[in-house]
Structures are given as structure tokens and as C-alpha cells.
Amino acid sequence: MSRGGEHEIVVIEGDGIGQEVIPAAVAVLQAVDEVGFSFTEKQAGDDTRDQTGAALPETTYEAAADADATLFGAAGETAADVILPLREAVGSFVNIRPARAYPGVDALQPETDLVFLRENTEGVYSGHEDRLSEDLSTLTRVITTSASEQLAEYACSYVTERSIDGFHTVHKANVMQETDGRFRDAVSRVAASNDVATNEVLMDAFATRVCLNPTQFDVVVCPNLAGDVLSDLAAGLVGGLGLLPSANIGQTNALFEPVHGTAPDIAGDGIANPSASILSAGMLLEYLGETDAATNVQMAVESVLNSGPRTPDLGGNASTEAVVNAVIEQLSS
């Protein structure tokens, strides 16, 4: 923290509904009276590429690397050129994705309460793709013991600090024996050395089991792509992607973003659900040590989801603005 005790936050709206839900999250942070912020807006995404030639200008990368924390919306076609370097800029090794069913929201599985801890640097996201011929393209999947162990150490601290009884490790080591075998072995070794209980589930079996009965899972530790796909699946259980926030945590920096993308079908209509972005802002507050404010934001969102205005994805006809105003009103009540 600097500049007279204010948290320095970089704000990157990106494309599509990022330009609607991130201003909404910033408005909520500005309404948190007890915490001081300075916001710096930076550009990234498809429009930025069209205007400047770079989807993620160096100034944006550096600002994220230097900030106390960054709030990011979504990127369209340029997602890979924006999200992955941004996660790298903050040195993130874990992507935390809570997937909760909220009272009052119509959910396929109303008892769902999951947290995905997703490896955030490698797997298929390492980007080693090649076009070898007209007929053949390849992708190299990278799994290291060090990244798997770092994720596992974080998972152990996460469950221990919250008195949670261990975690599930999700992988596909029966097929990807070398890569997911390495991941599975590293995670189970670290868990054993921390006296943390783990259960293993093959990722395909997990997909079925979590749909049928999500209450059998709590904290789920997985490789990068599995964490992306399975948390989106969990979004389907709780009422949609408009409800899932995320935190990309590094050693000394972090980036917060809704799990959803740019939603081009509704972009510009003013009806995007801002809950995921506001909940991401709540995770940002928690990361900055502003725990009371984080709880207040979380509770205000929950209260509005329960009995306030709803955007069309949740069966209502309210605007983004109406939801944000209701959250801010709750915060000050």
C-alpha cells in the first residue's frame, strides 16, 4: 500500500461485458467507506489490439505487475494474449474459483459449495502449439513437480487455515500417466508431509459425481485446463457464470476477475450480471487484508441475490445498474 495509505488498484475492463461489470465492481469498492483506493485504468483486449497493435500493451503489463492488486474483466479473441500474460505479470500460481449456490437463486444443485484451486501457470496453457503440416497440429502439455508442489502447498494452507478436512485432487493420470501422474504424485506427497488428507478422483468421474451430488466435494485441486472446465461446469450447477468470481494469487501480487468471458450476445445491452465481478472485488478486499469490508461486500451481494433485482440470466429483467445500486444500498444500510 502507498500514496497516503490507499491501495493502488489497476483496473482493466477489457472487452464486451467487461466494460459494464468492472465499472460496477469499482463503484462498489468506491462505496466501501472504510477503505481507501487509488484506481488506475489500463487497456487490454481486442479493441486495444485494433487501436495499438498489442492486445496487452507493455504499460498495462507493468502496471499490473507493480500494483497492489488488479481487477480485470474479460478479453475476447485476444483472451490468450491478455489473460495468460496478466496472470504471469502478477506471478500467479493458483486460480481460486469458488462456486456456491446462493439462497434465492434458482440452482440445479442448491447445496453446491465448492472451491476450485486451479494450477495457473502450465498444463496445456503453456502455449506450446505447433502446426506441423496441413493435416497435423500438436500441443505440448507441461507439468512440473515444482508448480504442482507450489499449488499443493497453497492447498494445504488453504484447508488448514479454514479447518477444512482435506481436499480432493482431480486428474486423469490413468491416461496422462507421465504428466498427470507427476501432478498427482507431487500433490499427494506435499499433502502427506503437511498431514492433510486427500482423495483422488479422475476428472471424468468427477464431472459426473459433482453433477449428481456436489456435497461430496469441498476444495478441489486440479491442473490448469481441468480447473477451467470443471469450474464452468460447477457454474451450471449454481445458476450460471454470472455468479463465479476468481482470484489469481501470486507471492506478492494478485489479479481478480469474473470467471465469465465477454458475453458478446448481451454486450452493450446494460443487462450483464455484475455479481461475479463484485464478488471478485470482495476477494480482492480479502487479499488486501480488508476482511470486514470483504465480508460486507459478500453479504451485500448475497442479500441482493436473495431478494433484490435480478438480471435476465437469473430470470429477472433488471439492469446491471439496478443490481449495483441495490448492492451499494445494502452496503450502506
Q: What is the C-alpha to C-alpha distance for residues 84 and 221, in angstroms, rounded to an integer?
A: 20
Catalytic entry in 15, 81, 180, 228: 228
CB of 235 to ligand GGG, least distance (A): 11
The rounded distance, in Å, linking the Cα atoms of 220 and 199 is: 10
C-alpha cell at position 307: 431478494
In whole angstroms, the minimum distance from the beta carbon of 233 to ligand GGG comes to 14
Query: Which residues contribute to the site for ligand GGG (CB under 6 A)?
Result: 74-75, 79, 83, 228, 257-258, 260-261
Active-site hit among 125, 154, 158, 287: 125
Chain centroid to Cα 164, Å, comes to 21
How far apart, in whole angstroms, are the C-alpha atoms of residue 279 and residue 243?
Answer: 8
- Secondary structure element (H or E) that encloses residue 188, with its range: helix 179-193
CB of 70 to ligand GGG, least distance (A): 12
Sign of CA dihedral 31, 37, 42, 44: negative
Toward ligand GGG, which CB reaches closer, 71 or 301?
71
Looking only at the bridges linking them, the beta strands covering 69-74 and 7-14 are: parallel
Task: Look up 269 and say whether it is catalytic.
Answer: no
Q: How long, in residues, is the chain?
A: 333
Question: Is residue 165 flagged as an active site residue?
Answer: no
Q: Which of 71, 116, 115, 74 is nearest to 90 (CA)?
A: 71
Q: Which one of 42, 46, 172, 313 is the catalytic residue? A: 172
Q: Which one, 74 or 272, has the nearer CB to ligand GGG?
A: 74
Is 204 one of the annotated active-site residues of the chain? Answer: yes
Q: Which is nearer to ligand GGG, 86 or 105 (CB)?
A: 86
Closest to ligand GGG by CB, 257 or 302: 257
Look up 292 and say whether it is catalytic. no
Hey, how many other C-beta atoms are within 10 angstroms of the C-beta on 150? 19
Grid coordinates representing 72 are 480485470
| Burial class of 306 by CB neighbour count within 10 A (0 to 12, 13 to 18, 19+) | exposed
- Is the Cβ of residue 261 or residue 308 nearer to ligand GGG in the bound state? 261
CB of 74 to ligand GGG, least distance (A): 3
Among residues 267, 259, 268, which one has the least CA distance to residue 236? 259
228 is catalytic: yes
- The distance of closest approach from Cβ of residue 224 to ligand GGG in the complex, given in angstroms and rounded to an integer, is 7
> What is the set of active-site residues?
125, 172, 204, 228, 232
